[in-house]
């Protein structure tokens, strides 16, 4: 009878799906970083060590929530995120375990957790992009200038729920002070005139097309655009330099080992591969980011590390002061 045939098919499906468990012999990474940037380096790792890796991708914060409620039942061995704030949030919730010092000592202490519960793998800079045809924005040298009244209607920024935007504002708040940051955000809101963009790539596009004159972005979006349109009339500005400048805001992508990982040795092997010279180069270069290891040089296209000054704000602050930034943003009603 038809009914029974359908029913038995159903039972087979149930039985099969109950035992979907691909992760028995593979490392599981909860990854908040784009698949295509992680895959090459992970595949190289597998080839080298024979350890299989499963990428479980979603938004960093969602994965962190998952890790938290799963507790010791989690299948995740590692947590990978594009945002130091999310990584530190995991640390504060005791979801990670410390990575031995000798493994991560090559990485600048400002770019990892105080207890080594996470370690930065690649860094990105908040920079300005300007349209080369617009004369009066060529000399802008601080992100705070974006709030000046003469740029009304001429700036392109992402919406204020964007993680990089929040992280950037947090750094500015720590490097300068709360009052100036509040004033800055208010100016940005006015200058944006209600039009903000969903994506950084859109911000660059607006500037390249001349609809907007200046934009605030992570540096690699600039190169991504040039890759598609090599002759785009855009230029990169490294803001807030010089003696008085606070320096450029950085944020890192990093990795942590789950507290309840049952494959700690393999997990540590992956971390040490990502920190190795080979791993660092591959991890950062696919997205033209900066390797966090100083003895590995960045992609030749991007401004060399020692050519500019970065804001002196430890990455853990991106978590500690995150709520404060969000409160500022929400109080102002930023779009």
Partner 1 sequence: MSIPLASTADTELNIIQRLLNNVRQLGSLGFFSVLVVLVAIIPLLFIIQNSLELSTEKWLGLWSARLPGLLWNTLSLATLVALGCFILGVSSAWLIARRDFAGKKLATWLMVLPLAIPTYVFAHIYTIMLDSDGWLGQVWLSLFGDTTAIPDLYNIGGVTLVLSLAGFSYVFLLVKGALLRGNRSLEEAARIQGASPAQVFWRVNLPLLRPAIAASLAMVVLHVLSDFGAVSMLRFQTFTLSIYLQMSGRFDYQAAAGLSLVLVLLSLTFLVMERFFRHRQRYYSNAQSSFIKPQKATFGQQLLIWIWLGLISLFAFILPLAWMINWSWTSWTHALIGEEFWVYVKNSMTVAFLSATLALICAFPVAFYHARKRSLFSNSLFNLSTVGFVIPGPVIALGVITFLTTQLPLLYGGLIALIFALVVRFLPLASQAQEAAMQQLTPSIEQAGRILGAGPIENLRRIVLPMISGGIASAWVLVFIDAMKELPATLILRPTGFDTLPVRIWIEASEEMLELAAPAALMLVVGTLPAIWLMMRSDAKANKQA
- Residues in contact with partner 1 by CB under 8 A are 10, 13-14, 17-23, 26, 28, 34-36, 54-59, 61-66, 69-71, 73, 75-76, 89, 93, 159, 161, 166, 195, 198-199, 201, 209, 211, 322-323, 326, 335
Residue whose CB is less far from partner 1, 7 or 105: 7
Q: Nearest-CA neighbor of 117 among 101, 140, 135, 129?
A: 101
Q: How near is the Cβ of 100 to partner 1 at its closest, in Å?
A: 26
Nearer to partner 1, 19 or 179 (CB): 19
| Residue 78, token pair as written in the block | 């590692």
Residue 231, both tokens: 């002759």
Strand ranges (E), 287-328: 290-291
The answer for residues whose C-beta is within 8 angstroms of residue 127's C-beta and 6 or more apart is 216, 217, 218, 219, 222, 236, 237, 238, 239, 248
Question: How near is the Cβ of 240 to partner 1 at its closest, in Å?
Answer: 26
Q: How far is the CB of 75 from partner 1 (least distance, A)?
A: 5
Nearer to partner 1, 258 or 310 (CB): 258
Comparing CB distances to partner 1, the nearer of 61 and 272 is 61
* Residue 71 or 109 with smaller CB distance to partner 1: 71
Distance CA 96, CA 218 (A): 28
Distance CA 72, CA 332 (A): 40
Nearer to partner 1, 22 or 277 (CB): 22
Least spacing, CB of residue 242 vs partner 1, in Å: 34
Name which of 124 and 293 has its Cβ closer to partner 1. Answer: 124
Quick one: 209 or 312, whose CB is closer to partner 1? 209
Where is 128: in which H helix or E strand?
A: strand 119-131
Alpha helices in 209-275 (DSSP H): 219-228, 264-275
**Shortest distance (Å) from residue 160 CB to partner 1:** 9
Cα 81 to Cα 308: distance, rounded to the nearest angstrom = 25
Whichever of 246 and 318 has its CB closer to partner 1, that residue is 318
Query: By C-alpha distance, which of 86, 112, 64, 102 is closest to 259?
Result: 64
Beta-strand relationship, 250-258 and 78-81: antiparallel
How far is Cα 215 from Cα 202, in angstroms, rounded to an integer? 10
The tokens for 278 are: 């080979």
Angle between helices 200-208 and 219-228 (to 10 degrees): 60
| 161/102 Cα distance (integer angstroms) | 37
Task: Tokens 């040298």: give the residue.
Answer: 141
| CB 22, min distance to partner 1, A | 5
- Residue that the structure tokens 């930034």 belong to: 325
- Nearest distance from C-beta of residue 202 to partner 1, angstroms: 8
Closest approach of partner 1 to the CB of residue 33, in Å: 10
What's the closest the beta carbon of residue 239 comes to partner 1, in angstroms?
25
């Amino acid at each position: 009878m038809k009914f029974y045939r359908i029913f038995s098919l159903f039972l087979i499906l149930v039985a099969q799906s109950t035992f979907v468990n691909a992760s028995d012999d593979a490392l599981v990474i909860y990854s908040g970083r784009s698949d295509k940037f992680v895959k090459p380096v992970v595949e190289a790792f597998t080839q080298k060590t024979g350890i299989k890796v499963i990428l479980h991708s979603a938004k960093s914060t969602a994965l962190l929530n998952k890790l938290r409620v799963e507790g010791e039942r989690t299948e995740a061995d590692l947590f990978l995120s594009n945002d130091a704030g999310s990584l530190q949030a995991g640390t504060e919730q005791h979801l990670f375990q410390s990575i031995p010092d000798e493994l991560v000592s090559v990485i600048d202490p400002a770019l990892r957790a105080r207890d080594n519960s996470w370690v930065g793998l690649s860094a990105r800079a908040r920079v300005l992009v300007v349209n080369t045809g617009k004369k009066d924005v060529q000399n802008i040298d601080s992100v705070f200038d974006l709030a000046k009244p003469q740029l009304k209607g001429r700036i392109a920024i992402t919406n204020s729920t964007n993680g990089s935007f929040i992280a950037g504002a947090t750094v500015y708040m720590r490097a300068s002070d709360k009052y100036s940051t509040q004033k800055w955000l208010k100016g940005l809101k006015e200058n944006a005139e209600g039009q903000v963009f969903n994506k950084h790539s859109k911000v660059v596009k607006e500037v390249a097309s001349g609809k907007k004159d200046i934009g605030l972005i992570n540096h690699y979006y600039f190169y991504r655009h040039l890759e598609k349109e090599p002759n785009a009339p855009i230029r990169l500005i490294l803001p807030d330099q010089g003696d008085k400048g606070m320096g450029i805001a950085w944020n890192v992508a990093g990795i942590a080992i789950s507290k309840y990982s049952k494959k700690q040795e393999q997990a540590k092997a992956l971390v040490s591969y990502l920190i190795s010279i080979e791993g660092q180069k591959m991890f950062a270069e696919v997205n033209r980011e900066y390797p966090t290891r100083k003895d590995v040089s960045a992609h030749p296209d991007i401004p060399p590390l020692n050519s500019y000054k970065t804001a002196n704000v430890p990455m853990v602050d991106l978590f500690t002061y995150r709520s404060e930034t969000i409160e500022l943003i929400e109080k102002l009603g930023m779009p």
